[in-house]
Structure formats: C-alpha cells, structure tokens
C-alpha cells in the first residue's frame, strides 16, 4: 500500500524538521523540497528533492524565491505545503501558489524588529497568507494573534514532546563526574550569546574553580561560529562539538552532564531543553515566558548588569549546589517530561492540522 505524501519546504538536516518527521501520522511520508542544502534527510520517513542546480548558486533570498517559482510546476494543484520557518521557506510556500501551513521559529518571530524592513515584510506576508501556523509556546500564540494579526483559529500551539529514545534509553556507562559539567546545546549564534557564555566560563576557570563546559556548533556557520570555535579552543575546560551527533551519541554526552543552559534573547520551548531534562539535566534558563511550564524546576539565570556577569554568577551558584540537591532535582525534571511531554499527544495534534489543511483544499476545489 502506498503511503500518502505530505510536502515539506524545509532544510532536511534541521533538527526541528527531524522532530516533525517523527510525529507524522501512520501511513504518511514526507517529501522535502529545499534550496540545495547538501545534507540528505536523515530519516526513513522522508525523501529529499534537490532543486535545479542553478538554484544552489543564487544569493540566499533568491534561492527561496526560485524554489517557490519552480514548485509551481512541480506540485499538483491540490497539493499543500508545510513550510518550516516563515522568513525563508515561508516565502517559498507563498510563491508556490499552493495552500500552506508554516511552523514558526522563535528567533525569527520574536527577533523580527531587529531585522531589516524587507525581512519583516517577508515574514509578515508569509504568515498572513498561511492557512495554518504552528508554534510551541503560548507566548508565540499571543505574538502571532495580537502582534502579527492572525485569527486564533489559524494558530496551532503544541509542543512536539520528547522522542521516546530520550526517555527509555538506559543510563549510559559514562558516569557523571564529581565536578560539575554544563552543556549549551543550542545553535552557535549571537542570538544565543555563546561568546558571553565562553567569556563567563573563562573567568570562572581563572579563579581556579572546577568544571567543564560543552558547547555545540549545531547547524550554525559563518564568522560568529568560527570565532566561537576559536575561543572555545583557547579556554581551558571547554569542549566544542563541531559535528552533528546521532541521538545515541547525544544521550551518552548528556548523561555525563549535570546542567543544560538555554539563554537566548527570545525563544519558544525548545526540544533541546526537553531532551536534556528527559536525561535528568537541570535546566539553566533565562526567565522567558515561553519557558513557564518548566521554569519552576530550572535554575534561573542570575541577575546582573551584563550577560557575561549573569552567566558567571550562575556558573558559581550551580557549582556550589550539593550533590544531594542535584540528584533530587534531576529526578523531578525527568518526571516532568514523562508526565507532560508525550510524543503521542503531539502526533494527534498534527493529525488535526493535516485534516484541516486537507479539508481547506477540498473546499477550494469544489
């Protein structure tokens, strides 16, 4: 029996996209249209479609435009697209002349006012013309409805939950060290203040304190990521992970850590936070409204004049936590994930969104 196909406009290597592939309803597979990212879809439930060769050599914005125009000729009239981000692939979907849904990324929506007017126009236009828009936090829902002006019936807010492997895999044989280990498992960009984290940790280590900091490059590139790599190599006690890890490798890495840092300027409730909590890591969080469902179990980023000072004070505070307190809170955060962040619940909500999109297309055709 042939599986039904859902069309994605997305980066097939994105961790966010992998999460969506895992909650596809039974009997469905994804076809991923992209601007020429070199990575193949690392999921059995998807096929990556490479665009015409010339698209890969265009400037970034032109790539998304060209892909949208190309899709006009590739997709049947009754098809609809699920675009993964509003500012890039949302533009592609907008230009494809097909119905589409958008999954928003927190940094693009919350940080839009710091971007160019062209960026803001593309973002707003893509969102305004989407039939449905998804987010993972009530804060995002409020932003989309009250600030962007979307009607509430078009906005679907739900967490994608945590993949079963993070909850069911036995603890790896790598035992946690007696010294504290922190991990910053977010993208290496200015939005996440990675250089400030490194600067704070250097100050912490220069005082003779014990501990290790692990930083992930993720899918980041460019001069900032290069500078972070250089600084991480220079500072004692920092491990910089250049390559993307498999989930099995990620679990082994998380199992030797005590704390997971997440302190972007704005955010939704990231899967990276939930996955680390599923392995018993205590989250260190900036006090964002999007984090409200887990904030009570987190260590809040300490108040200070600058981000570097905030991170430094938090390193000191968490390094002074007694082992018994760390173990007790670790059990509580794992329990929170087990009870509140089911992958099965996310799949049911995605099924509802898909059904709504199919019904919209049926009404348009009749």
pLDDT digits (tens, 9 = 90+) for 33-72: 999 876 555 677 889 998 999 998 999 999 999 999 999 9
Query: 2: which DSSP letter?
Result: P
Give the pLDDT confidence of 312-351 residue by residue, as tens digits.
999 999 999 998 999 999 999 999 998 888 888 889 999 9
Q: What angle do helix axes 223-234 and 194-206 make, rounded to 10 degrees? A: 10
CATH assignment of 164-340, among 2.40.50.140, 3.40.50.10240, 3.40.50.2000, 3.40.605.10: 3.40.50.2000
Give, in order, the Cα–Cα distances in Å from 146 to each of 140, 159, 196. 10, 21, 33
In angstroms, the CA 326 to CA 180 distance is 10
- Comparing 72 with 19, the larger pLDDT belongs to 72
Whole-angstrom Cα distance, residue 158 to residue 274? 14
Taking only the tens place, the pLDDT of each residue in 76-107 is 988 999 999 999 999 999 999 999 999 998 88
Higher pLDDT, 173 or 275: 275
Domain with CATH 3.40.50.2000 in the chain: 4-161+343-365, 164-340
Q: Where are the beta strands (DSSP E) in 231-341?
A: 238-241, 259-262, 282-285, 299-300
- Across the chain, mean pLDDT equals 89
- CATH code, residues 4-161+343-365: 3.40.50.2000
Angle between helical axes of 194-206 and 307-319 (0-180°, round to 10): 50
Residue 176 predicted with pLDDT over 60 = no
Q: Which of 188, 162, 334, 180 is nearest to 256 (CA)?
A: 180
Helix, strand, coil percentages (3-state) for the chain, rounded to 5, are 50, 15, 35
* pLDDT score for 366: 45
pLDDT tens-digit readout, 248-307: 899 999 999 999 999 988 888 888 999 999 999 999 999 988 898 899 999 999 878 899
The share of the chain scoring above pLDDT 70, in percent, equals 94
Query: Number of C-alpha atoms within 13 angstroms, CB side, residue 360?
Result: 18
Which pLDDT band holds residue 230 (cuts at 50, 70, 90)? very high
Instruction: Map residue 140 onto helix, strand or coil.
Output: helix
> How far is 136 from 13, CA to CA, in rounded Å?
20
* C-alpha closest to that of 196 among 253, 149, 131, 261: 261
Average pLDDT over residues 241-249: 87
The pLDDT of residue 221: 67
């Amino acid at each position: 029996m042939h599986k039904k196909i859902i069309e994605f406009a997305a980066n097939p290597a994105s961790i966010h996209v992998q999460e969506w592939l895992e909650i596809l309803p039974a009997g469905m597979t994804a076809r991923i249209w992209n601007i020429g990212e070199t990575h193949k879809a690392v999921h059995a439930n998807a096929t990556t479609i490479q665009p015409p060769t010339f698209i890969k050599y265009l400037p970034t914005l032109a790539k998304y435009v060209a892909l949208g125009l190309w899709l006009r000729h590739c997709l049947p009239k009754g098809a609809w697209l699920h675009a993964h981000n509003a500012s890039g692939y949302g533009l592609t979907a907008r230009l494809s002349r097909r119905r589409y849904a958008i999954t928003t990324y927190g940094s693009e929506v919350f940080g839009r006012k710091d971007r160019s007017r062209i960026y803001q126009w593309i973002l707003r236009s893509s969102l305004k013309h989407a039939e449905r828009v998804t987010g993972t936090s009530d804060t995002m829902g409020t932003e989309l409805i009250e600030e962007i002006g979307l009607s509430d019936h078009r906005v679907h807010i739900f967490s994608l939950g945590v993949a079963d492997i993070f909850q069911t895999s036995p603890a790896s044989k790598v035992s946690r060290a007696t010294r504290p280990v922190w991990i910053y498992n977010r993208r290496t960009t200015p939005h996440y203040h990675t250089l400030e984290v490194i600067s704070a940790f250097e100050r912490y280590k220069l005082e003779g304190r014990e501990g290790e900091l692990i930083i992930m490059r993720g899918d980041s590139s460019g001069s900032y990521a290069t500078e972070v790599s250089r600084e991480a190599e220079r500072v004692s006690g920092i491990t910089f992970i250049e390559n993307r890890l498999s989930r099995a490798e990620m679990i082994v890495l998380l199992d030797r850590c005590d704390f997971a840092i997440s302190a972007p300027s704005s955010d939704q409730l990231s899967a990276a936070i939930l996955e680390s909590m599923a392995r018993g890591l205590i989250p260190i969080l900036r006090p964002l409204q999007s984090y409200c469902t887990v904030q009570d179990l987190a260590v809040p980023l300490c108040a200070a004049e600058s981000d570097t000072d905030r991170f430094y004070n938090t390193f000191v505070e968490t390094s002074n936590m007694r082992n018994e307190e760390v173990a007790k809170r670790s059990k509580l955060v794992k329990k929170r994930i087990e009870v509140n962040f089911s992958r099965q619940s996310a799949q049911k909500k995605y099924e509802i969104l898909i059904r709504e999109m199919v019904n919209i297309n049926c009404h348009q055709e009749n």
